[in-house]
């Protein structure tokens, strides 16, 4: 008798690989770079940080600074962004019963872009720009939600359509700001910011963003079986005793927190939330009980790898939003062909 209730019998071996890969690439991204550090030294630097452990330094202090202050926060952020966006994508796809939906569908990215563009236009300090971007991401989703709210419920179709309207509005506002911005220095700043980069993330950013992101992800993780029921459609989920409105609000709040945080710190990183859940469904099947954990590991691995490519491929860093789309679009096309449009 099979009692685990997981669709595809994903072998422990495959799960093992999925779990190990993000840690492996995390470690690789600490020593790889223009300033090469021996893997052994990286390991020692990390061990040295554990309270009570004292290792005689065999490395230069620069190495320690690079590993701990530059590469470590960046790699952690990459992992959080990858896991967060992929999880959010999977949750939204379940909730909207549509595997093409991205975490940005309710207008969070457009709203946050507007906030950031506004902040950059006004030459506010970068931390204020981030906060304004974060707040506008949330405002955009709040507008979408209240527009879609009818007679005590929020029909899924209304949410999608309101999200389109709100996105279009904030995108127009971004264009307006770009149009008004001085084209010597502010316009490029806004343009580059929107293309996305994890490079700006320092330890301080990580300190105040990691915990809320992890909490939001933990909540999504905890309700993952409910997502199965929700993906049957609202009416049906309700008839199965699920308080669909409450679940919807939980999913929207958590995903908005994750995506708004991501966009405000790293700009727009597209396609992750579509490609990774789809890819994971091919490996572990559609059951969210297995899918959500899979998206965490695969998503984290994916963005860590992509971010390393951004740093290493050319002399100047490539904005991550470009690479995720350049890689994501063809991969998605391939996945579509392979699954023949069936969302296995």
**What is the contact surface with other proteins in residues (CB under 8 A)?**
1-3, 5, 7, 94, 97-99, 222-226, 228-229, 231-233, 235-243, 246-247, 281, 285-287, 289, 342-344
Q: Minimum Å distance from CB 240 to other proteins?
A: 4
Give the count of beta carbons closer than 10 Å to the beta carbon of residue 189.
17
Q: Closest CB to other proteins among 191 and 228?
A: 228
Distances from the Cα of 67 to the Cαs of 3, 25, 29, 101, 208, in angstroms? 45, 14, 9, 36, 20
Q: Closest CB to other proteins among 51 and 241?
A: 241
Q: Residue ranges of the alpha helices (H) in 149-287? A: 156-180, 186-195, 203-222, 224-230, 234-239, 244-266, 272-284
Q: Closest CB to other proteins among 247 and 320?
A: 247
Q: Closest CB to other proteins among 186 and 281?
A: 281
Please give the angle made by the CA atoms of 199, 200 and 203, to the nearest 5 degrees.
100
Q: Minimum Å distance from CB 161 to other proteins?
A: 18
Return d(Cα 223, Cα 214) in angstroms, integer: 14
Q: Minimum Å distance from CB 153 to other proteins?
A: 10
Token readout for 1 is 């008798």
Q: Chain centroid to CA 177: how far?
A: 26
Token readout for 323 is 């690479």
What interhelical angle do 72-95 and 244-266 show, nearest 10?
150
Q: Minimum Å distance from CB 212 to other proteins?
A: 19
Q: Minimum Å distance from CB 239 to other proteins?
A: 4
Q: Minimum Å distance from CB 241 to other proteins?
A: 3
Q: Closest CB to other proteins among 267 and 285?
A: 285
Q: Minimum Å distance from CB 232 to other proteins?
A: 6
Q: Closest CB to other proteins among 191 and 339?
A: 339
Return d(Cα 119, Cα 133) in angstroms, integer: 8
Cα-trace Rg, the chain: 21
Please give the angle made by the CA atoms of 80, 85 and 87, to the nearest 5 degrees.
95
Q: Closest CB to other proteins among 12 and 342?
A: 342
């Amino acid at each position: 008798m099979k009692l685990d209730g997981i669709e595809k019998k994903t072998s422990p071996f495959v799960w093992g690989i999925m779990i190990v890969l993000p840690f492996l690439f995390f470690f690789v991204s600490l020593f790889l770079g223009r300033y090469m550090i021996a893997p052994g030294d990286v390991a020692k630097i990390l061990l040295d940080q554990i309270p009570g452990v004292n290792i005689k330094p065999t490395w230069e202090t620069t190495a320690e600074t690079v590993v701990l202050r530059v590469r470590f926060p960046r790699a952690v952020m990459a992992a959080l962004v990858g896991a967060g966006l992929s999880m959010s994508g999977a949750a939204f796809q379940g909730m909207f019963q549509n595997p093409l939906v991205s975490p940005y569908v309710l207008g969070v990215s457009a709203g946050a872009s507007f906030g950031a563009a506004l902040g950059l236009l006004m030459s506010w300090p970068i931390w204020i720009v981030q906060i304004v971007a974060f707040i506008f991401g949330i405002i955009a989703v709040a507008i979408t939600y209240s527009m879609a709210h009818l007679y005590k419920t929020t029909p899924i179709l209304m949410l999608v359509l309101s999200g389109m309207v709100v996105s279009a509005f904030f995108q127009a506002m971004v264009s307006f700001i770009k149009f008004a911005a001085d084209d010597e220095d502010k316009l490029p700043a806004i343009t580059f910011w929107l293309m996305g980069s994890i490079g700006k993330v320092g330890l301080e950013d990580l300190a105040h963003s990691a915990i809320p992101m992890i909490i939001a992800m933990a909540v999504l993780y905890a309700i993952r079986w409910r997502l199965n029921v929700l993906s049957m459609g609202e009416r049906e989920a309700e008839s199965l005793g699920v308080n669909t409105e409450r679940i919807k609000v939980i999913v929207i709040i958590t995903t908005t927190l994750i995506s708004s945080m991501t966009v405000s710190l790293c700009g727009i990183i597209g396609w992750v939330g579509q490609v990774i859940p789809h890819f994971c469904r091919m490996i572990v099947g559609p059951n969210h009980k297995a899918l959500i954990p899979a998206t965490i590991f695969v998503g984290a691995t994916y963005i860590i790898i992509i971010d390393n490519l951004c740093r290493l491929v050319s002399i100047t860093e490539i904005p991550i939003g470009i690479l995720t789309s350049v890689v994501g679009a063809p991969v998605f096309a391939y996945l579509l062909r392979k699954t023949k449009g069936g969302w296995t």
